[in-house]
């Protein structure tokens, strides 16, 4: 028996169609979006989850469900134009107060932002109950602390928030004019800090601001 040539690998990864099946099974079974690193950890050595996922997403284009990107992860979601067929059973939800909506909008468009900065933009104090409600909904979470006196904690929106509103990242937030045209905001004037048409910054601090935070 002769040895295999040294320049020839002893192990061959599964063919791409089989890798697509693996990813399909993992995304279907997972209650949370899965990042590429999560997929890679569960697949055989030498697999190419990025390529397999790209091919799999193409296969689901135009189907009743599709694979969408949510933050750094991927998940199966119903095609947007078929949402109406799933509206037979509705979950009763609590309506957010105007204070909660303003606070959520400020966090989404200005993240990472401290409570003091939220109050400065709104012009009024933010009650602990308002922030607790948004955290309980899992739409807002604690970010990194600022390296300033008191080391105040910052707030950022979560992947659950992006998922709920069908956004890939905070960059995809609509402008206020679009929100009003869609009937999601009334025509009452909003706080000065929300007068812009889109996010001021991404979830991560901008270049040059990293020294203001601690992990």
What pLDDT, in 10s, does the model give residues 169-211? 877 776 666 655 544 455 555 555 555 444 443 333 332 333 3
Looking at the predicted structure, is the pLDDT value of residue 121 above 60?
yes
Distances in Å between the Cα of 210 and the Cα atoms of 145, 149, 192, 200, 214 are 11, 16, 26, 16, 8
Q: How far apart are CA 202 and CA 28, in angstroms?
A: 29
Least confident of 16-20, 99-103, 151-155, 184-188: 184-188
pLDDT at residue 115, rounded to an integer: 92
In the block, tokens 């008191």 appear at: 150
Instruction: Identify the DSSP state of 175.
Output: P
Query: Which candidate, 137, 140, 85, 82, places its Cα nearest to that of 113?
Result: 140
pLDDT at residue 208, rounded to an integer: 30
pLDDT at residue 51, rounded to an integer: 96
Query: Which candidate, 108, 115, 205, places its Cα nearest to that of 151?
Result: 115
Confidence of residue 111 (pLDDT cuts 50, 70, 90): confident
Q: Give the chain's domains with CATH numbers.
A: 16-80 (1.10.10.10), 98-214 (1.10.10.10)
pLDDT at residue 173, rounded to an integer: 77
Q: How far apart are CA 114 and CA 150, in angstroms?
A: 12
- pLDDT, tens digit (0-9, with 9 covering 90-100), for 7-59: 545 568 899 999 999 999 999 999 999 999 999 999 999 999 999 999 999 99
Answer for the pair 25, 14: CB distance below 8 angstroms, yes or no: no
- pLDDT, tens digit (0-9, with 9 covering 90-100), for 69-93: 998 999 999 998 887 777 765 555 6
């Amino acid at each position: 028996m002769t040895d295999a040539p040294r320049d020839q690998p002893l192990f061959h990864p599964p063919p791409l169609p089989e890798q697509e099946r693996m990813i399909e099974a993992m995304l279907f079974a997972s209650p949370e979006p899965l990042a590429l690193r999560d997929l890679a950890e569960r697949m055989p050595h030498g697999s190419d989850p990025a390529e397999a996922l790209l091919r799999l997403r193409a296969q689901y284009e135009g189907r009743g469900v599709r694979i969408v990107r949510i933050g750094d992860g991927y998940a199966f979601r119903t095609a947007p134009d078929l949402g109406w067929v799933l509206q037979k059973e509705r979950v009763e939800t609590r309506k957010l107060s105007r204070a909660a909506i303003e606070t959520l909008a400020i966090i989404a468009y200005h993240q990472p932002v401290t409570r003091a900065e939220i109050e400065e933009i709104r012009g009024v104090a933010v009650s602990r109950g308002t922030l607790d409600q948004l955290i309980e909904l899992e739409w807002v979470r604690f970010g990194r602390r600022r390296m300033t006196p008191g080391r105040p904690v910052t707030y950022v929106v979560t992947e659950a928030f992006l998922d709920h509103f069908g956004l890939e990242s905070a960059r995809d937030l609509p402008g206020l004019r679009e929100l009003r045209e869609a009937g999601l905001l009334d025509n009452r004037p909003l706080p000065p800090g929300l007068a812009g048409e889109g996010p001021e910054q991404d979830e991560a601090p901008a270049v040059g601001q990293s020294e203001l935070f601690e992990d």
